Amino acid sequence: MDIIYRYDPFAPIEMPRIPDVATAMNRLIEGNDRFVEIVTQMQERTLGRHSGEPLVIPVSPVTLGLPLFEGVMPTQAPFAAIVGCADARVPTEAIFDESFNSLFVLRIAGNVLGSEGIGSLHYALANLGESLRTVLILGHAKCGAVTAAVDAYLSPEAYVDIASTHALRTIVDGIQIAVRGAARALTLHGGGLIESSPDYRSLLVAVSVYVNAAVSALELQREFNGFIENPPAVNFSVYDFETLRVQCLPSDDDDDSNKIPRYLPAPDSADELFQYASDVAKAFLSLDDDALDRNCRLTVKM
Ligand SMILES: [Zn+2]
């Protein structure tokens, strides 16, 4: 299978206009769909199921966010700010099929925002407002930071070993709200005995990942509301290794995943946050065994 990046200097260049948050989010989702399509075609080719037709991707320096001529300095003009995890398996630009100068990216373990992260976003909003249209919190499945927070929750006696430095504890502590909300939601839908299930740790990690993205979005939206006139809407989503999609609920199969919201606005109250945690827990507990295996029972690496 050939993947051909083709640059035609005489082809007309169309620069998509990003006038509002909905258009910005659509561009991110369409980019994620292209990423899924490219990887899926390669995987199918590996299994001998693809026709082998070359995949031609038109590119130009301008659409890649690079200067057309040597020595020209581009003006910084991202259309989205994204707060993701530092996990090496979740490169933000690649997931959204974006390149230079389109995303303002912060990557912090567990997408936990401290004052430096929030300060960076304040800078972006104050200085890049001409182009910036949306802010997205992006969690990811099987997150090591969330796993550490779950382990600290399940084994408080091992807390100091799990989060061995003050800096690590800051991250683990920041995720506890999500873990507690996820645990309460799982008990609500799975009953008190769910805690003794052999899969409980993996299930709690899986649910906490989604809830943690929602918690970060809620906190950031409140931060913006308190300090910024006309604050931008903060959305959240989770990258899933199985589907390669960004999504807001676990998916059963391809058909179902098309009905799943790809992103959601930040919850604006504790009740709304818990309602979301409850929806996520219910969705995980409704998966059939195969889907649950794919979503939860894979080894979680620290
Ligand atoms: Zn992570």
d(CA 47, CA 212): 36
Per-residue CA distances from 281 to 72, 184, 207, 251, 264 (Å)? 51, 9, 6, 12, 16
Distance (Å) from CA 60 to ligand 1 centroid: 33
Confidence of residue 258 (pLDDT cuts 50, 70, 90): low
Backbone angles phi, psi at 247, to 5 degrees: -155, 165
Token pair of 31 as six digits: 């980019």
Confidence of residue 12 (pLDDT cuts 50, 70, 90): confident
Give the per-residue pLDDT at 64.
83
Distance (Å) from CA 6 to ligand 1 centroid: 34
Distance (Å) from CA 175 to ligand 1 centroid: 11
Sign of CA dihedral 200, 269, 177, 111: positive
Backbone angles phi, psi at 265, to 5 degrees: -70, 155
Please give the DSSP secondary-structure letter assigned to residue 164. -
Confidence of residue 7 (pLDDT cuts 50, 70, 90): confident
Please give the angle made by the CA atoms of 265, 270 and 275, to the nearest 5 degrees: 70
- Residues 26-66: pLDDT tens digits? 999 999 999 999 898 888 888 887 767 788 888 888 778 88
pTM > 0.85: yes
Distance (Å) from CA 66 to ligand 1 centroid: 30
Distance (Å) from CA 111 to ligand 1 centroid: 7
| Short-list 125, 137, 132, 140, CA closest to 24 | 132
- Residues 83-124: pLDDT tens digits? 999 999 999 999 999 999 999 999 999 999 989 999 999 999
The share of the chain scoring above pLDDT 90, in percent, equals 59
Domains of the chain: 3-297 (3.40.1050.10)
Backbone angles phi, psi at 230, to 5 degrees: 50, 60
Residues 6 or more apart whose Cβ sits within 8 Å of residue 186: 194, 200, 203, 204, 207, 281, 284, 285
Across the range 17-31, mean pLDDT stands at 94
What ranges in the chain are assigned the alpha helix state H? 21-46, 92-95, 115-127, 144-154, 159-162, 166-190, 200-227, 254-257, 270-286, 289-292
Give the per-residue pLDDT at 295.
67
Confidence of residue 300 (pLDDT cuts 50, 70, 90): very low
Reduced to 3 states, what is the DSSP secondary structure of residue 252?
coil
Q: What are 56's strand-pairing partners?
A: 4
Which chain residues have CB less than 5 Å from ligand 1, an ion?
85, 87, 143, 145
Please give the DSSP secondary-structure letter assigned to residue 263. -
